[in-house]
Amino acid sequence: MSYIKEVNEIFEKFYKLFYESEDLALKNGIKCLSHTELHIIEAMGEDSITMNTLSERLGITMGTATVAITKLEEKGFAMRVRSDVDRRKVYVSLTPKGRKALEYHNNYHKKIMTTITENINEKDLNVFLETFEKILENLKNKSKFLKPSSIIDFPIGSKVSVIEIKGTPIVQDYFMGNGINSCNDLIIENIKENEKITLKKEDGKLLELNVLDAKNIIVVRKEN
């Protein structure tokens, strides 16, 4: 299928040119933000959201989201507040400086989209939108397959790769003591009435865990 190569080349050229134009916009407007930080600001939006919601929107782990927000706080673009009702929840929102950055980013996107579509007729744009929506749906389905989640969310027989161990240092030490670390591959052998889960480790040994403990193991599905 020769067209696959052509599609790939077009996407690569588009992303390269688009990000180059964003670089220029950043240098002219918000010099202290990276592309990644700007997209995190975009994902946060105008409302106050939990850190869990933010990590889900971005498709990243809580640990990665925490590091990113810490940097944005240091630069004065974001702030965190712990809930008075549920102390386990942490809400993140944009500061006035962050809202200005969001507005700048949104205005830039409107301007660039108007510019790159101004000489394309409506019929061709409709065909493009219909086709790209199908591509986006396919990508969305693939992303669901690769999205990090707790190991207990996967069915029996799934082969997964560990990307993060959550919980207290005691919980993390417990898993390390049982040979479960980041980048380990595991197979879900059995789940007993939502109370116990049995995992096969890389060395072939089985490990039975309480489901509540196993929730702390964040994994992605490993393709065969």
59 lies in the same domain as 117: yes
Last residue of a domain, one of 146, 177, 204: 146
DSSP 187: E
As given in the structure block, the two tokens for residue 70 are 């810490």
134 lies in the same domain as 189: no
Q: How confident is the model at residue 1 (pLDDT cuts 50, 70, 90)?
A: low
68 lies in the same domain as 105: yes
Q: Where are the alpha helices (DSSP H) in 75-194?
A: 96-117, 122-146, 169-177
* Cα 5-147-106 angle, rounded to 5 deg: 75
Structural domain total, the chain: 2
Which helix H or strand E contains 19, and what residues bound it?
helix 2-28
Quick one: pLDDT at residue 97? Answer: 94
Measure Cα distances from 65 to 21, 47, 137 in Å.
Answer: 26, 17, 25
List pLDDT tens digits, range 80-138: 998 887 777 889 999 999 999 999 888 888 888 898 899 999 999 999 999 999 998 88
Category of 9 on φ-ψ map: left (φ > 0), alpha (ψ -120 to 50) or beta:
alpha
Longest dimension (CA), the chain: 63
Whole-number Å distance between alpha carbons of 127 and 220: 35
35 lies in the same domain as 126: yes
112 lies in the same domain as 185: no
Query: Residue 129 maps to which CATH number?
Result: 1.10.10.10
Q: How confident is the model at residue 33 (pLDDT cuts 50, 70, 90)?
A: confident
* Distant-in-sequence contacts of 179-185, Cβ < 8 A, 24+ apart: 179/203, 179/205, 179/207, 180/207, 180/217, 185/159, 185/160, 185/161, 185/222
Quick one: pLDDT at residue 105? Answer: 86
Contacts of 210 (CB under 8 A, 6+ apart): 195, 196
Whole-number Å distance between alpha carbons of 74 and 82: 17
Segments forming the whole domain that contains residue 196: 149-221
153 lies in the same domain as 130: no
112 lies in the same domain as 98: yes
Quick one: pLDDT at residue 145? Answer: 66
191 lies in the same domain as 91: no
Which helix H or strand E contains 209, and what residues bound it?
strand 206-210
Query: Residue 184 maps to which CATH number?
Result: 2.30.30.90
Measure Cα distances from 137 to 10, 131, 134, 213, 219 in Å.
Answer: 19, 10, 5, 34, 23
List pLDDT tens digits, range 2-13: 688 888 888 899
Measure Cα distances from 200 to 5, 30, 48, 116, 158 in Å.
Answer: 39, 49, 41, 52, 11
Q: How confident is the model at residue 198 (pLDDT cuts 50, 70, 90)?
A: very high
98 lies in the same domain as 70: yes
141 lies in the same domain as 172: no
Last residue of a domain, one of 93, 119, 146: 146
Last residue of a domain, one of 115, 146, 177: 146
Whole-number Å distance between alpha carbons of 66 and 215: 19
For the question of whether the overall pTM of this predicted structure is more than 0.95, the answer is no
Q: Does the pLDDT value for residue 144 go beyond 80?
A: no
127 lies in the same domain as 169: no
Quick one: pLDDT at residue 4? Answer: 84
104 lies in the same domain as 9: yes
Which helix H or strand E contains 213, and what residues bound it?
helix 211-214
Quick one: pLDDT at residue 125? Answer: 94
